[in-house]
Chains A and B, each alone.
Chain A
Amino acid sequence: MSNPYEVLGVNEGAGIDEVKRAYRDLARQYNNDYQKMDEINAAYDTIVMNFGNKNRKNSYSGSNTHYTYDTAASSGNSEFGDIRAKLNSGRIDDAEMLLDGIPHQRRNAEWFYLKGTIQHRRGWLESAAESFERAHNMEPQNPEYAAAYKQLNREKKGTFRKEAAAEAGETCCCDSCCTCDGCDICTGLCCADCCCECMGGDLIRCC
């Protein structure tokens, strides 16, 4: 694996705030590129983990922002890391049990994201969509939550149908006519068009 600091484009001695900023900028830039996003995420995770191990004392005694960040990175992450591992190995019930055991005041954006993931796996889509939305609202910059939220939102709007039609190249002005019930005029016109085409003519250009 390449040097995580190089991936994020920061100096090896950079502070956590700088790393965080670089990560956010990159995440915004490569929002749609999953491969690059994986690389960036991995690099970020490595650096943050190291921070947690090496500088724990430092950051705890440091400024207020360091303190809050480090709790999220070390203790928060390790607990959720356990849950993530369980989720990855398909032990959904165990993961949910651990997750539900976490007290309300510590339920952050990641908590809602993981809850949403579990609900999504179960097929409880309404709750999953709500959880993802909540995670996304709590931390709008996080690309992982944003991706999950957007994915379900796209499905809600039914975009998959338009995409499939576009792939097949079916974009005809009559499509909308054909789907409506009892639209006799349209049907009649379509029929007339077909007849004309059979005889070599054309009534409606686009069909």
Chain B
Amino acid sequence: MLGYIRASKPDMTFRNYELYKGVYCTLCKSLGKRYGFIPRFILSYDFTFFAMVRMALRNQCPGFKKSRCSFNPAKKCLDCNRDNEDIAYTADVTILMMYHKLRDNIQDSKFFKRLFYRMIMPYAKHLYKKACKRTGEVYKVLEKQMARQQEIEKRNGNLDESADPSAVMLAELLIYNLECADKETLRKFGYMVGRWVYITDAVNDCEDDIKDGSFNPLKSRFDDENFLQYCEEMMNLTIGEAINCYKRLKIFRFDDILTNILYDGVYAVAKKVLKKEVAENE
């Protein structure tokens, strides 16, 4: 996950923005507490969304209070209860995902970058093992899906196939250890969000992947004149399905923020990614 799922700031109220930032801050602090200083830099807004969805489905208040941030001690930000299990779990998930992303990078990148990734690998592995211990069985799902992803990439699967492992991964991570009345809807919601991230990333990287000769499910369509329209349709379709599922879920809090992300934030990111493609094509 690479920061594609974020809120649209102009469409937010100050109050919601503060809450949103508060969750981000807490996550960052939790990462620091559980895994040390360095992993704090890999946190992205995607995980804020992830944590907020989980908190929104629970009928207990996360309990916010004001506290100072070590990066910017002059400023106070909202901070929810640090022992909140969703925050802790999301911090663990961040580490799990980072490790797999790193492994993926080692395979895809060129010599110098690869060397760099190799060098930080032992440290990442150490963190990964720690995170596995803390989260229980869920890392097995990740490893299985990562293997599936490689297999699909090898035989040049279509868009639906290649998006499937990432989507399943997010779905399983999202519902893990969470009590929800409508688990299937939540699973599908997670699936669609994961799928959207995958597709958006594929659109974003398409040009580079073609240059490098790496796998990309959109490669065969890249020269079509309707390429951008096709991408936009696929993104819309996926997020539309996610919204359909979201509407069916029982949400206890953060509804405005999550709606903002799903409708406006995601749209702004999609537009930006597509625009970049346009600029590069011209």
Contact = CB atoms under 8 A, between A and B. Distances in A.
Bound pair: A and B? yes
Nearest to A123: B191
Interface stretch (B66-74, B97-105, B106-114, B238-246): B238-246
Given A124-B164, A160-B243, A161-B267, A152 B192 contact: no
A156 B234 CA distance: 6
B272 interface: yes
B263 interface: yes
A40 interface: no
4 closest A-B pairs by beta carbon, nearest first, are: A155-B240, A124-B160, A158-B236, A156-B233
A155 B268 contact: no
Q: Is the interface of B mostly helix, strand, loop or mixed?
A: helix
Interface string B253-282: 000000100010001100110000000000
B213 interface: no
Interface string A151-185: 01011111011001000000000000011010000
Interface in B187-216: 188, 191-192, 195
A68 interface: no
B263 A161 contact: yes
B37 to A, nearest CB: 33
A3 interface: no
Nearest to B188: A123
B234 A126 contact: yes
A178 B237 CA distance: 24
Interface in A113-143: 119, 123-127, 129
Nearest to B233: A156
Interface residues of B, number: 26
A52 B220 CA distance: 47
B190 to A, nearest CB: 10
Contacts of A178: 10
B167 interface: yes
Interface of A: 119, 123-127, 129, 152, 154-158, 160-161, 164, 178-179, 181
A155 B195 contact: no
B158 interface: yes
Contacts of A155: 236-237, 240-241
- Counting chain A CB atoms within 10 Å of each CB, the highest count among B159, B240, B267 belongs to B240
Contacts of B240: 154-156, 158, 160
23 contacts: A123-B164, A123-B167, A123-B188, A123-B192, A123-B195, A124-B161, A124-B164, A125-B160, A125-B195, A126-B159, A129-B237, A154-B240, A155-B240, A156-B234, A157-B236, A158-B240, A160-B240, A160-B243, A161-B263, A164-B259, A164-B263, A179-B268, A181-B272
A144 to B, nearest CB: 18
Contacts of A164: 259, 263
Contacts of B232: 158
Contact of A179 (B234, B238, B271): B271
Nearest to B243: A160
B5 to A, nearest CB: 16
B158 to A, nearest CB: 7
A161 B265 CA distance: 11
A39 to B, nearest CB: 25
B160 A127 contact: yes
Contacts of A158: 232, 236, 240, 267
A125 B238 contact: yes
Contacts of A156: 233-234, 236-237, 240
A65 to B, nearest CB: 38
B160 A119 contact: yes
A163 B117 CA distance: 46
A34 to B, nearest CB: 16
A88 B160 CA distance: 23
Given A126-B158, A160-B263, 7 more contacts: A123-B195, A125-B241, A152-B237, A156-B233, A156-B237, A160-B243, A179-B271
Contacts of B237: 125-126, 129, 152, 155-156
A104 B272 CA distance: 43
A102 B167 CA distance: 30
Contacts of A119: 160
Contacts of A127: 158, 160
Nearest to A158: B236
A178 B192 CA distance: 28
B209 to A, nearest CB: 19
Contacts of B161: 124
